[in-house]
Amino acid sequence: MAARTLRIGLIPGDGIGREVIPAGRRILEALPSSLNLKFTFTHLDAGFETFQKQGVALPEKTVEVLKSDCDGALFGAVSSPTVATKGYSSPIVALRKRLQLYANVRPVKSVKGGARAVDLVIVRENTEDLYVKEEKTYTAPDGTKVAEAIKRISENASWHIATMAGDIALRRQRIRDSGASSIHSSPTVTITHKSNVLSQTDGLFRETARRALAQDQYQMLRIEEQIVDSMVYKLFRQPEDYDVIVAPNLYGDILSDGAAALVGSLGLVPSANVGHGFVIGEPCHGSAPDIEGRGIANPIATIRSTALMLEFHGEERAAQAIYEAVDGNLEEGRMLTPDMAGTATTEQVIEDVCRRL
């Protein structure tokens, strides 16, 4: 049987993105030949430094190459200007829109034997809510300024993200049924919203998610709800209760970064931006200018994001091999970067995970 070849775009971006994205490539190249996978790589530009050089944060060429010549991509990190900068906007937000990557999927998992038992996935709608960035400022009759932002929730986007959450919950249960250890006994999706206050927008999200998850293929799922402020409290108090959480864009963004604190570091937490037929793996950390160039950036989030990208391409065996190699590294605890209270370099962690593969 001929090997499957996946064409991967590499978008390092800014800061430590340039140090961790090579880890993704090396992990893919280190996969066992028995998995019958090959890869080609294309280096692409995006980010604030690209904006400073070219006048645009997301060059049109990058978008065109991703659409025509790539099956998926790995995105590193971007710096954000500290003051308003005319013409600049986030390239990853733009990519999500241009490539119709409607879901941001963020698994959060603790290390075996750690202080907290955490094994959950946050599924965040990626294209609307307050992130449509339709804002305006005007002067009120009393002469003071007022700023307004549009919060947009649509039935279509809510339906897509709810079914994505349902499919992930079913896939996680299949993995558990195959013998993988887990803290969960049954697949559960928790719908997060604030419909008690935002009855029209969040009310539509809640109602649509409920209808989507009432379809026959999701009958084995347990469906729960949490108001977002209660969700934050319970997520930190009893994270072991949650399996898959689905939320609109803003709530999902806040919950995702907060949940990273449960497992010790943003340097461990992966994500995938997922659409119909295209996936971008993206570590959840930022460009970290304070450690840029020191060789101590944690590559684990990028390595896990690489596995997540493969998972959404249907290559679950390859993804699982990477997850197990990372778990082995973390559980042994001998080769950890400083954010994990270790002394290892980025390169040493990459070599250790490749060796375990």
- Tens of pLDDT, residue by residue over 237-264, are 999 999 999 999 999 999 988 888 888 7
The answer to whether the beta carbons of residues 280 and 249 sit under 8 Å apart is: no
What's the confidence (pLDDT) of residue 260?
A: 85
Global pTM value: 0.89
Angle of helix 316-332 versus helix 346-356 axis, rounded to 10: 120
Domain boundaries, the chain: 4-101+275-356
Over pLDDT 90: what percentage of the chain? 80
Token duo for residue 199: 């009855």
Residue 60 amino acid letter: E
Phi, psi of 50 (to 5 degrees): -65, -40
**What is the chain's mean pLDDT, rounded?**
93
- 79 pLDDT above the threshold of 70: yes
CA 256 to CA 206: how far, in whole Å? Answer: 19
**Paired strand residues for 245:** 122, 190
Cβ–Cβ < 8 Å for 134, 146 = no
What digits encode the pLDDT tens for the residues 283-327? 988 899 999 999 999 999 999 999 999 999 999 899 999 999 999
DSSP per-residue letters across 104-158? EEEEEEPPTT-SS--EEEEEEE-S-BGGG--EEEEE-TTS-EEEEE--B--HHHH
> Tokens 């050089």, residue?
53
pLDDT band of residue 166 (cuts 50, 70, 90) is: very high
- What's the rounded Cα separation, in Å, for the pair 87 and 99? 21
Q: Is 345 left (phi over 0), alpha (psi -120 to 50) or beta?
A: beta
CB 285 within 8 A of CB 112: no
* CA 231 distance to own-chain centroid: 19
Going by C-alpha positions, the residue among 148, 135, 106, 76 that lies closest to residue 251 is 106
CA 134/CA 152 separation, integer angstroms: 9
pLDDT at 233: 95
3-state SS class at 311: helix
Q: Is 76 helix (H, G, I), strand (E, B) or coil?
A: strand
In tens, the pLDDT along 185-211 reads 789 999 999 999 999 999 999 999 999
Location of structure tokens 């994205």: 21
Alpha helices in the chain (DSSP H): 17-30, 48-54, 60-69, 91-98, 155-177, 201-212, 228-237, 249-260, 300-312, 316-332, 346-356
- Cα separation of 87 and 16, whole Å? 24
Q: Which sign, positive or negative, has the C-alpha torsion 256, 262, 267, 269?
A: negative
Residue 184 is predicted with a pLDDT of 74
The per-residue pLDDT for 325 is 96
Rounded CA Rg of the chain: 20
Tell which CATH architecture fits domain 4-101+275-356.
3-Layer(aba) Sandwich (3.40)
Summarised one tens digit per residue, pLDDT across range 87-119 is 898 899 899 989 999 999 999 988 776 667 899
Please give the structure tokens belonging to residue 127: 């294209």
Task: Flag whether pLDDT at 180 surpasses 70.
Answer: no
Q: Of 152, 96, 158, which is closest to residue 125 (Cα–Cα)?
A: 158
Q: Does 55 score more than 90 pLDDT? A: yes
Backbone angles phi, psi at 270, to 5 degrees: -95, 170
Instruction: Tokens for 249, please give them.
Output: 């864009």
pLDDT band at 265 (very low <50, low <70, confident <90, very high): confident
